[in-house]
Structure 1
Amino acid sequence: MAGSGIPGSFDFSSALSGGLTIEIILFIVVIAILGFILYAYIYFSSSKRVLKWYGAKKIQKNEKPLLYSLLEDLASKAGVKPPEIYSFESSIPSMFTVGHASKTSLAISTSMLEIFGELELEALMAHEVGHIKNKDVGKNTFTAFLAGTIMSFPNFAMWCSMLSGFGQPEDPAPKFFRYIATAIAVPPAALLIHLRNPMKRELEADEVAVNLTENPRVLAKTIEYLENYIPLQPVSTRFNPGHFHLFSTHTQQVRGYLSIFISMFDTHPETGDRVARILSHSTYSKNDNIDNKRSRVPGFFDVKNWRLALGISFVSYMAFLFVIIVGVTFALKDFNFLVNGGIAAAYTGTVLLFLGATAKLSRRRIYLRSPSPTRKRVFLNPVQAFKHLMKRGLTFIHFNRSHIAHKEKSDAKEEKKSETS
């Protein structure tokens, strides 16, 4: 019998547990292999997906020989393989690089090719070569694919509502479904992007660009021009917020009822800081011919919108909790307070941790450093009052000690006088 210790007997429980262990190990191995295959597929195909999103077409070397010559020279100086050049139709001047370790592609908008000359294009391409040299491109492209896919979900929700008979895109119901879907999609997409610390990557690419071109003034003026020019252009729905970190500057000023959520995709350094860092590589005056008053694209990123977006996302996630509770209740055919309460507590805690991490990373540079008037009244004033009282108290103690010491000396002198007399 099992467990009897008789020689030759078969231990059924041990065999069963051993079989289950092998099955679990095999299951984990299969999941790991499938995960690796999926990762490899996304890693090597994501660049094609992003280029296809913008309708980019390859530019042959005989079409733009000067452009290829400039890029090959920059790549040679940086010690990297030159990327292939693509162009895409857009009234917004923009440029980005996608690819992986063995192959990269540089995409330039048609308006950028029309607006800028040789020096400006060389400076911006040097920035993109900086990303290649710093090994940013593969991870940036992978992140763009995932974040861009997540940010496509709101449009999918809107089309589903329309196909279900809720009207046209500008009708209330499809707009409402798109708004809620955006509130749910934004935090995970923004978190994926900010985990890579895109602001730091941009500054490092700027540094490489300055070293390659040895002309920081051109790069600084071009970035400043783009930041002031782009908000004046019409809004393009082609630009996916999940791709914003790919571009060398802020892509566009987003308007409309969804613009409040775009503050979560603040992926570039402040223009004033960025220009100052670029120009610090030369003796060129930082204030000459450069307008540093606009530190960001006007209306593009706003702290109030950022806070409100987080609040709306939290409410949307909690509304989804109601759907979960209803589903569990129907499955159990009864409202179990213990089960539903446990689900609600675990879900709420997870959402708070998730949104907290998103908030911390999306404001890594601490734009909320200046204290609010409420914080000044509630916190700073009592602290100042406490310090003032401590100072007065120490002064009072010091005065009392001095007074007592002086009195003791006076009494001692009086005693000596009385003794001598």
Structure 2
Amino acid sequence: MIKSLVKLTFLFTLVSGSVSSTTFLADIILNGIISKQILNLLFKIIPDLPIYIVNKLYFRNVLKFEIASKIFSKTGISMDINLFPHLAIFVTTFIFITIFSCLFTEKMILRRYKAKKFESEDIEEVLEFEDIEKIAKNLVKKAKLKVSPKILVIDTHTPNAFVVGKTKRPSIVLTRGLIDLLDKDELRAVLSHELIQTKDLFVKSVVALFAGILISLSTVAYWLSLLTGFGQEDDPAPNLIKLFVMSLVAPIAAFIIRLMVNPYKYSIDLESLELHKNRGKLIDALRKIEESKPEFDINPAHLHLFFAVPDLEEYVDILDFKIPTYSTLFSCSPLKNRVEFLNGNLRNERVKIAKPIFFSFISYIFVLFAIIAFDTFNRKDFDFMRATLISSVYLTILLLFFTIFFIVFRFRRCRLI
């Protein structure tokens, strides 16, 4: 419980800090316009806001080096900004995402996959579902888990399952395809796996929600490009825009997932064996799902919640160029590898991230050009010193992020031996 609270607090602080830091850096470039506007709004909402508190929180130019002071004065970058609005942004964001996560995490993910309570007029199907619920209850008693799961169903022929929600009241979601494909013992193995996965489930669910929202921005960009006139026959522009946005958000989403949760399934497979005591049936379930070639529209940031990770395309061909889809940043524990692992044949799992990260870095460079172009247009003059300073800060932050990214992926990689 305490560990989960620490993880969630860290995640919410990370998100809130990123938002407030971004507005702060933008405020510096815009010479304090953002903080002034927010202060005016705050004084309208809270007329009795103590002035002395606001005036105490200032980020002033305290640079003692003459060269640095001259650079800032020549570039016109403000070093005298009120910090109160940015502190207010941090606190407001932290409170908002905390409430939002507690109230809507489970609902939004269940709605995303159209999961619902089982309904059928077929008596055999009703009895079969009641058997599944009994299996789940017996497994909970056997494992002495303090959970009360509810079983939901997705009306699709693709065999898969996932678990989401709060740790003590999880929602285990099965597809109709999975129920039809597997026998009772194989379903018991799958349910055991999902029950073991309820450990730290709320953290996993919240991480999936926020990372999933980031990934969804690429789809939003795709549809916006179609609505704004792109998307004629054989027009690659919408897909290019989608992949460009994906290149910006995918590393951030993958970083959050890898930092906060362990996305690999191998340890959960082993723990579930202690519960259902039938290695062969788990292997059979994995093989049957693999042979069915599951094609299910899963948000890549939600893969760590699912029982079966489908094979995802690593590259797409656009204008005779192979462009990465960034799926390798999220894909882990393929079904084939899990079967080999349970048979004792898998020694290691390698994740190829170099090419996707290279393309992401190039995309972020384009964003830097866009920032400098916007700044030049806004000031109606190109200032080489100012552009150099903005580029230096931007590239320092970018290199720092990707350095931390590689460190996290290095230390949180899959270790089987």
The 1:345/1:24 distance shift into structure 2, 3 A limit, reads closer
Could you say what secondary structure the match of 1:93 adopts?
A: coil
Change (3 A) 1:127 1:112: same
Structure 1 partner of 2:280:
217
Q: 2:231 aligns with which of 167, 192, 212?
A: 167
Matching residue's letter, 2:269: D
**Per-residue Cα deviation, 1:72-94 (whole angstroms, up to 9, x for no partner):** 11112222223111111334311
Alpha-carbon displacement from aligned partner over 1:97-151 (angstroms, at most 9, x marks no partner)? 000134210111111111101011111110111122x22x101111111111111
Q: For residues 252 and 315 of structure 2, what CA distance do their matches in structure 1 show?
A: 22
Residue 179 in structure 1 maps to residue 230 in structure 2: no
1:177 is displaced (CA, Å) by 1.0
1:109 is aligned to 175
Distance 2:209 2:133 in 1: 27
1:338 aligns with 2:385: yes
The structure-2 alpha-carbon separation of the partners of 1:18 and 1:139, relative to structure 1 and needing over 3 Å to count, comes to closer
User: Quick one: structure 1 residues 30 and 184, their matched pair in 2 at CA, closer, same or farther if it must change by over 3 Å?
Assistant: closer
Matches of 2:339 and 2:127, distance apart in 1:
35
What's the TM-score once normalised by structure 1's chain length?
0.69
Q: Aligned partners of 2:404, 2:340: CA distance in 1, in Å?
A: 30
Aligned to 1:192: 256
- Summarize the Cα distance change of 1:357–1:225 in structure 2 as closer, same or farther, 3 Å threshold: farther
Distance (whole Å) between structure 2 residues aligned to residue 90 and residue 294 of structure 1 = 34
Q: Which amino acid aligns with 2:141?
A: S
The Cα shift of 1:335 comes to 1.6
- Asked if structure 1 preserves the Cα contact closer than 8 Å seen for 2:193 and 2:269, the reply is yes
Aligned twin of 1:83: 149
- Taking only aligned residues, the RMSD between alpha carbons, in angstroms, comes to 3.2
Alignment correspondent of 1:402: none
Secondary structure at 1:311 match in 2 = helix
- Residue 90 of structure 1 contacts residue 109 of structure 1 at CA under 8 Å; is this kept in 2? yes
1:408 — aligned with what?
Answer: none
Q: Distance in 2 between matches of 1:342 and 1:86?
A: 54
Among all aligned residue pairs of Structure 1 and Structure 2, give the percentage whose two residues are the same amino acid: 24
1:329 partner amino acid: T
Partner of 2:313: 254
Helix, strand or coil at the partner of 2:310? coil
Does 2:190 match 1:128? no
Contact between 1:130 and 1:204, CA under 8 Å: does it hold in 2? no
Residue 350 (structure 1) aligns with: 397
Show the 5 A alignment for 1:5-404.
17=52, 20-21=55-56, 28=87, 31-32=90-91, 35-59=94-118, 64-78=129-143, 79-132=145-198, 134-135=199-200, 137-168=201-232, 171-199=235-263, 202-226=265-289, 228-229=290-291, 232-233=293-294, 235-236=295-296, 238-254=297-313, 257=316, 260-268=325-333, 272=337, 274-275=338-339, 278=342, 286=343, 292=345, 303=352, 306-362=353-409, 364=411
Given the two structures, how large is their TM-score scaled by the length of structure 2? 0.70
Mapped partners of 2:130, 2:164: distance in 1: 21
Q: CA–CA distance in 2 between the matches of 1:312 and 1:340?
A: 23
What amino acid is aligned across from residue 135 of structure 2 in structure 1?
A: L
Segments of 4+ in structure 1 off by > 6 A? 22-27, 60-63, 293-296
Q: Secondary structure at the match of 1:166?
A: coil
Contact 1:95–1:108, Cα closer than 8 Å, also in 2: yes
Distance verdict in 2 for CA 1:314–1:52, change over 3 Å: same
- CA distance in 2 between partners of 1:313 and 1:275 (Å): 33
What amino acid sits opposite 1:350 in the alignment? I
Deviations 1:11-35 (A, max 9, x none): xxxx975663499779847853652
Q: Distance in 2 between matches of 1:19 and 1:165?
A: 46
Which is greater in Rg? 1
Deviations 1:292-335 (A, max 9, x none): 57988xxxx863xx322111111111001000001111222222
Secondary structure of the structure 2 residue equivalent to 1:108: strand
What amino acid is aligned across from residue 376 of structure 2 in structure 1?
A: T
Q: Quote the Cα distance in structure 2 between the aligned partners of 1:19 and 1:243.
A: 42
Shift of 1:47: 1.1
For structure 2, the residue ranges without an aligned partner over 5 or more in a row are: 1-49, 58-81, 120-125, 317-322
Aligned pair in 2 of structure 1 residues 16, 260: CA closer, same or farther (>3 Å)?
closer
Tell me: CA distance 1:45–1:322, structure 2 relative to 1, closer, same or farther (3 Å).
same
Report the count of equivalent residues.
329
C-alpha distance in structure 2 between counterparts of 1:352 and 1:27, whole Å: 24
Give the conservation status (yes or no) of the 8 Å contact 2:311–2:334. Answer: no
Determine if contact 1:198/1:267 at 8 Å carries over to the other structure.
Answer: no
Letter paired with 1:229 = E
| In structure 2, distance between residues paired with 1:128 and 1:317 | 38
Instruction: State the 1:255 CA deviation.
Output: 6.8
Deviations 1:320-372 (A, max 9, x none): 1000001111222222222211111111122222223333434556689xxxx
Superposition deviation, residue 197 in structure 1: 3.9
- Kindly indicate whether the alpha-carbon contact (under 8 Å) linking 1:127 and 1:209 is maintained by their aligned counterparts in 2: yes
Which deviates more, 258-267 or 186-195? 258-267
Contact preservation (8 Å) 1:271, 1:295: no
The Cα shift of 1:254 comes to 3.2
